[in-house]
Amino acid sequence: MAIGLACLINASWVFADMKSLDDTALANISGQSGLTMELDLALTADRLSYYDDDKGIHLEGFRVGSAIDSAGQAFHLVRIGIEDDASLNLDYLVEDRRVEFGDIRLAGAPGVSMGGVFFDHTLEGYLNISEGGSVGGAGYTFDSAYTMTGGRLGYRTNGNEVFLDDITMNVKALGVTLDVVGDTLALDAPRIVGNWEVGAIRYSNNPLNHGVSVDSGSGQLLPSYGRLSGSYDLSSSTGITAGGRSGEGLRIDNETVIHSATFLYMDDGKALALRDITGSYRINDLRLDVTTDWRNRPALALTLGSLDGQFNIGAIEVGGSGRSIGEVNVSFLLEDQVFNGRNYSNAVYLQGGGHPDAGPQGLRLATEWSLRLADFSYTEDGNRVIFSGLQSWGQGDVTVNVTRNEMINGTQFFDGLRIGFEDVRAGYRINGLRVGSEDAPLQGGTELLLALGFYPAYEFELDGHMTLGPGGASGEGITINSDVRIHDGKAAIIAVPYDQGNGEVPQKGLWITELDYDSHVRGMTVDVTQEGLAIVKSEAWSTMDIGNLRIGDKESGRSFGRFVVQKYETGSSMTIVPGGAGDVCAGGVGDSPSSCASSGGVWEARGEEGLTVRLKQVFAKAAGEDRKNALTWETNRETNGVGEAVNGTGTRLVLNDIHTSDGGDFDGDGVEDNSFGLRTDLSVDVYQTRVVKKTDGPDALGVVGNRGDEKIMDGASASGYRYVANPTLQEAENRPLGFAVKARSQFKELSINNIDLVHPVGGAQTAVYGVKMQNFDIKANLTATPIP
């Protein structure tokens, strides 16, 4: 509907300068059952400006015309008729139209801009306007439907661009009402249904290309990140009021209900699909102002009062098989909140420039956020686990540029969409897990996320970038190059809840603190494959300097000392596969229920859904002091005048040049093969688990049982469970839910070149000249359940 209205607005510019028509022009206008108009439109403007409290934003290089020919015109056909009910009906056809801005600038920020935007499309549809809105005769009612083909939506900076190519869209919105209620313009859409498809997400680093699918030099199709498609059925209510956060501006309030939706990302025909999406959200007091940010920099500000909502994804399918990982539900509240004694709000200040070395065009987002509370739940085969009490906060600058592979002023840029981070100070924490329902007791288990590089709690300062390039390991996909620096970090390896129902308390756990982390990734590809989602690193190296490994409080807990972990990997990978462990013999050996039981095990049919993560870490031999695998432990450090430990003044144990190997040169190239690496498969399910009491007598909640009794969930019991010596089959069906993890780790050869002891005065002495471990294969079944 919005695009159809835009079509009418464009046509109105033509009427704004009406002239007498000669006989030839009149021949193109017919009036049998209405009015038919044919327009060839070419419109340009050097600048369109908007002022808010004397502060301006300027849209420069504005053009409406042909998408194919930059000097050509866009064809418009509009048929205007009056229906029997006195409503105005507009049937329209727009062909080969481009709407673009060459630059977006802010007054008071000379020399930089936000970059250019272009939108190509062909439209065919109708718009019917009748008197009377939802609250009386003073408003209007709109019925609209349109089809868009040949669409492109692109963003361009410094001669490089990323754009959505070959967009098709079908939209139908009936009974949309527009009313003035008090001082608010009320727009209500009782039902909007549609579907859309993006044929490719393309990238160009050739300044001679502009909004074209084929490179002007090579004649080849531009590389693609992949394809997108989706559908939706939603209802929405929007209120628009004059007035910004201070003085002039705009206020927007909105409530939207998603009745159904789907989203698909396609990579060479393989899909990552989010199906059966439902949900709702509410935007309260969103203000739009031309103002300054907290550093007094000119900006277009979006400041938010609050945003709350919930979304449910009925199935997440990955890979060529169409199998589902499970169901996901998210509820959230973005609202002002105090974290660590500082108040955080939700605001984005849009500015021009991006990274200063990338060129004058780009986007800088001075950002602050406050996620007051969120719950994330995962359900597979009917069993549910909830990551409860997620909170996040932060402030800093995010830059966006479309860049090419080049070195400018000592800064290395890569092909793709570059997302930079400057002076970002942020954090998050999770209260714990709940299994089964929202009122289930909190439990541990968030440390299982460490395998994915996700800590239960983390505070940090962040600088660096991540550049998303087109193309994966082959064909479509994504290639990532990144350089990231984290400093003054505090991360929990294990953490107890920060709020168990009696108010917030300092979170205890095992903490890595005074953390400096320097990470570099080159040529990491992300692809949807037949098996699942494959992430492969061509080369990656990092140094994690942990000032203190503390237990208890993150600030004052006792320290195990300093640890430095260096990693250098080539060809490492992670594959996320739908489906968990399937059938498992826990605590025994057997491939059937009977053989498992005879060995003393418990046969568990964990279902079809679930998640398997396959990790392969190829530790390469040292290629320099910054590219190697090593572990350093330092203790007995001297302290400075304020009692802080001084790194490098203590005694160190160094495991140097750790690397994997296949155990020989099997391809005959004269170099020892190293492709197998350290492999770990983790199959994770939410499943009923056998929990046995460890001691006689009452537990922490006063529930009495004997050593060896099983815990059985029972809603009729005061504590929700009881202990049973020999559960019946029916009672066994009420075993507690928990995380069930089937794990296997293996390597062919793992070597340590040397183990040194380093004294601050005497220097390094080699204690062990080389260690080799071969043919490890370790299997385990782990469970995490609530502890009373």
Q: What is the 3-state secondary structure (H, E, C) of 348-362?
A: EEEEECCCHHHCCEC
Q: Please check whether residue 549 is in contact with residue 511, taking contact to mean a CB–CB distance below 8 angstroms.
A: yes
Q: What integer pLDDT is reported at residue 686 of this predicted model? A: 87
Q: What integer pLDDT is reported at residue 23 of this predicted model? A: 57
Look-up: residue for tokens 């009373």?
A: 788
Per-residue pLDDT tens digits for 740-777: 889 999 999 999 999 999 998 888 899 999 999 999 99
Q: How far is Cα 321 from Cα 557, in angstroms, rounded to an integer?
A: 49
- Residue 651 per-residue DSSP state: E
Q: What integer pLDDT is reported at residue 732 of this predicted model? A: 86
Q: What integer pLDDT is reported at residue 4 of this predicted model? A: 43
Q: How far is Cα 387 from Cα 328, in angstroms, rounded to an integer?
A: 11
DSSP labels for 475-495? SSSEEEEEEEEEEEEEEEEEE
Task: Provide the token pair at 170.
Answer: 């079908």
Q: How far is CA 236 from the centre of its chain?
A: 25
- Residue 627 per-residue DSSP state: S
Task: Provide the token pair at 401.
Answer: 């540029």
List C-alpha distances in Å: 218 to 204, 572, 623: 12, 33, 37
Look-up: residue for tokens 């029997």?
A: 84
Q: How far is Cα 243 from Cα 228, in angstroms, rounded to an integer?
A: 37
Q: How far is Cα 241 from Cα 432, in angstroms, rounded to an integer?
A: 41
Q: How many CB atoms lie within 10 A of CB 281?
A: 16
In sequence order, the 6+-apart residues with CB closer than 8 A to the CB of 413 are 357, 358, 403, 404, 405, 406, 407, 467
Greatest alpha-carbon span in the chain: 104
Q: What integer pLDDT is reported at residue 21 of this predicted model? A: 54
Dihedral (Cα; 647, 648, 650, 654), 10-degree rounding: 110
Q: Which stretches in the chain have pLDDT values below 50?
A: 1-18, 26, 30-31
Q: How far is Cα 319 from Cα 300, in angstroms, rounded to an integer?
A: 41
Q: How far is Cα 724 from Cα 710, in angstroms, rounded to an integer?
A: 5
Q: What integer pLDDT is reported at residue 690 of this predicted model? A: 81
Look-up: residue for tokens 């139209």?
A: 97
Task: Provide the token pair at 487.
Answer: 């400093």
Angle at 195 between CA 190 and CA 199, to 5 degrees: 155
Classify residue 473 by burial, with Cβ atoms within 10 Å: 0-12, 13-18, 19+: middle
Measured over the CA atoms of residue 575, residue 576, residue 582 and residue 585, the dihedral's sign is: positive
Buried b (16+ CB within 10 A) or exposed e, 88-125: ebbbbebbbbbbbbbbbbbeebeebbbbbbbbbbbbbb
Q: Please check whether residue 674 is in contact with residue 665, taking contact to mean a CB–CB distance below 8 angstroms.
A: no
What percent helix, strand, coil does the chain show, rounded to 5? 5, 65, 30
Q: What integer pLDDT is reported at residue 441 of this predicted model? A: 75
Classify residue 293 by burial, with Cβ atoms within 10 Å: 0-12, 13-18, 19+: buried
Q: How far is Cα 579 from Cα 558, in angstroms, rounded to an integer?
A: 41
Amino acid at 9: I
Angle at 585 between CA 579 and CA 587, to 5 degrees: 125
Q: What spatial distance separates the first Cα and last Cα of the chain, rounded to whole Å?
A: 56
Strand, helix or coil for residue 677? coil
Half-sphere exposure of 498 (CA within 13 A, CB side): 19
Name the helix (H) or strand (E) containing 5: helix 2-15
Beta bridge partner(s), residue 552: 509
Q: Please check whether residue 74 is in contact with residue 96, taking contact to mean a CB–CB distance below 8 angstroms.
A: yes
DSSP labels for 20-79? ---HHHHTT-B-SSSEEEEEEE-EEEEEEEEEETTEEEEEEEEEEEESS-TTS-EEEEEE
Task: Report the helix count and the strand count for the chain, using DSSP H and E.
Answer: 4, 45
Classify residue 73 by burial, with Cβ atoms within 10 Å: 0-12, 13-18, 19+: middle
Task: Provide the token pair at 290.
Answer: 């031309």
Q: Of 465, 469, 468, 467, nearest to 484 (Cα)?
A: 465
Per-residue pLDDT tens digits for 709-728: 999 988 888 888 899 999 99
Look-up: residue for tokens 């277009």?
A: 300
Look-up: residue for tokens 């609530």?
A: 786
Q: Of 96, 135, 580, 195, nearest to 383 (Cα)?
A: 580
Q: Can you give 300-340 as a three-state secondary structure string?
A: EEEEEEEEEEEEEEEEEEEECCCCECCEEEEEEEEECEEEC
- Residue 108 per-residue DSSP state: T
Q: How many CB atoms lie within 10 A of CB 728?
A: 9
Beta bridge partner(s), residue 482: 466, 521
